[in-house]
Amino acid sequence: MTALVAVMNKQAVALAADSAGTVQIPGKEQHKIYAMNKVFALSKSKPVGMMICGDSQFLGLPWESIIKQFRRKEKDRSLATIPEWRDSFLAYLGELTSGVDSKTRDQQFLYRYPAVLKSILAKLEQGGARPEEMGDQLEGGITARIEELNEENQIAEVSAEDIDEFVAKNLGSIEEAENQLFLDHGIEPLELEEARKPILRSLFERSLPNKRGVSEIVFAGFGEDDWFPSVFSIHVDGSTNGQVRHWVGTEAKVTREYGSEIAAFAQADIVWTLLRGIHPSLHSDLDQALQAAFGEHVPGMIGQLLEEHIEDTDTLREIVSKIVEIGGKAYQAIRGQSDQYCFDHHTMPVLASIQHLGKGELAQLAESLITTTSLKYRMAIDSQESVGGPVDVAVISKDEGFIWIQRKHYFELQQNPAFGRLEPEL
């Protein structure tokens, strides 16, 4: 994991990111590295930048190389808005997909298909199914999982012929993965010729419910027509039929009426706590407890008391139903009041202060949010140190453009004087 943040007011947007990365070698433990570059100038002459998190590659190509090649290609270009920069970058990714061999494009789905099948078998086990029963229950498990996958955004479209072609090309790898999973769960090998196709269709056409293997790309700054900064992110996940698989992420922008914003990506809990005054996991637990109290526990206890005085079952059921309805309204009222309190006493004061920060102070705040997140995960015994390493910070303004405030290098600048001359291209 990682942590990225954009802090902006009407003057500028400050970008900050840690340097942590996770390397996963099959069959081995995860390995942490702390030298990842995640903040980039998207143009050396225009006020626009980029941050990345998630998968560090696109179809086997490093994002850092892709970004810098795009920057060289579009070095003299001027675009009106940040969404236009986003669309231009997506078009460039589309050009790259045409040069990628089918084996590389297929690899992402060959990896995800057995992962989905494994999750189905795991869920059947959790439900108490014994190995000898799983074969009979697998069809129902597959149907339920496909329904879950199909609730995600549709980002591509494939035909039955496309699925058949993919299976024909990769049948050996697919069957090997299936048989290994059956062996691991003590199940006799099953024929999944028809059952596997709906899973593959969902994987081809839908965005992923978890973000493993997905990159999030954050575009930030000013377009030629923009007076105020904005931030737009997209999730990118390989390609289908030559089209870049992507879906919309976060959108945040400063306007005349709303003079400041904070947008956080990946490990965003510290920023969320700053803006809401409560940690997101605690907020979620309290919310679930309130829902259970007003929707189940209180109506249930009242119903038990009323059973002693009301013999008519229909009347009792009607009363309990009314109590559940009243409890739902009470929950909504409490939730609304707590949200309003968080907004009035935490969100608004923070955003109001950010409106008046100078560019240097924006950078300091952005860096502090990343370092605080890093400290939290380093000190927490119950979580991995998933944020860490040097913090890169940049500020983008309409007039000065992209300015580095703090940037790590893998070499000594004094020993590489040529870098200063080459940097506009790097």
Top pLDDT among 85 and 59 is at 85
Strongest mean pLDDT among 74-78, 95-99, 372-376:
372-376
Span 231-256, average pLDDT? 90
Q: What is the mean pLDDT of the chain?
A: 86
> What are the residue boundaries of the structural domains of the chain, listed by start?
3-100+213-268+385-425, 102-205
The 10s digit of each residue's pLDDT in 303-320 is: 788 877 787 778 878 888
Among candidate residues 388, 370, 394, the one with its CA nearest the CA of residue 35: 388
Mean pLDDT of 45-52: 95
Q: What is the pLDDT of residue 424?
A: 47
Which fold would CATH assign to domain 3-100+213-268+385-425? Glutamine Phosphoribosylpyrophosphate, subunit 1, domain 1 (3.60.20)
> Tell me: the pLDDT tens digits for 365-423?
999 999 999 888 888 766 677 788 899 999 999 999 999 999 998 888 788 877 766 55
Helix, strand or coil for residue 406? strand
Start-end of H helices in 277-347: 280-292, 298-306, 313-342
CA nearest neighbour of 87 among 216, 224, 232, 229: 232
Q: In which band, very low, low, confident or very high, does the pLDDT at 66 lie, cut at 50, 70 and 90? A: very high
- Report yes or no: 135 and 188 within 8 Å, Cβ to Cβ: yes
pLDDT of residue 382: 65
Q: Please name the helix (run of DSSP H) or strand (run of DSSP E) that holds residue 262, with its range, or none.
A: strand 260-266
Q: Tell whether the model's pLDDT for residue 6 goes beyond 90.
A: yes
Contact 374, 388 (CB under 8 A): yes
pLDDT at position 254 is 96
**Identity of the amino acid at 152:** E
Q: How far apart are CA 36 and CA 387, in angstroms?
A: 11
Label the pairing between strands 57-58 and 48-54: unpaired
What per-residue string of b and e applies to 259-268 under the rule 16 or more CB within 10 Å gives b? Answer: bbbbbbbbbb
At position 237, the amino acid (one-letter code) is D
Q: Long-range contact list for 341-350, CB < 8 A, 24+ apart? A: 342/276, 342/277, 342/278, 345/277, 346/274, 346/275, 346/276, 346/277, 347/275, 347/276, 350/262, 350/274, 350/275
When pLDDT is averaged across residues 49-53 and rounded to a whole number, the result is 95
At residue 41, the pLDDT reads: 94
Bigger pLDDT: 72 vs 317: 72
Spatial contact of 226 and 81, defined as CB atoms under 8 Å apart: yes
Q: Compare 245 and 413 and report the one with higher pLDDT.
A: 245
pLDDT for 263 equals 95
Whether residue 131 contacts residue 174, with contact meaning beta carbons closer than 8 Å, is answered with no
pLDDT at 422: 56
**Is the pLDDT higher at 331 or at 26?**
331
pLDDT beyond 60 at 13: yes
* Residue at token pair 């061999």: 101
Q: What is the mean pLDDT of residues 61-73?
A: 93
pLDDT at 29 over 70: no
pLDDT tens-digit map of 177-228: 888 888 888 887 777 777 788 888 888 888 876 666 789 999 999 999 999 9
3-state SS class at 120: helix
Average pLDDT over every residue of 219-238: 95
pTM for this prediction: 0.85
Whether the Cβ atoms of residue 287 and residue 335 lie closer than 8 Å to each other: yes
Distance, CA of 229 to CA of 399 (rounded, Å): 12
- 46, pLDDT greater than 80: yes
Give residue-wise pLDDT tens across range 141-176: 888 888 888 888 888 888 888 888 888 888 888 888
For helices 313-342 and 298-306, angle between their N-to-C axes, nearest 10 degrees: 150
- The end-to-end CA distance of the chain, in Å, is 26
CA separation, residue 145 to residues 117, 136, 393 (Å): 9, 16, 42
Q: Is the pLDDT of residue 101 over 80?
A: no
Per-residue model confidence (pLDDT) at position 210? 60
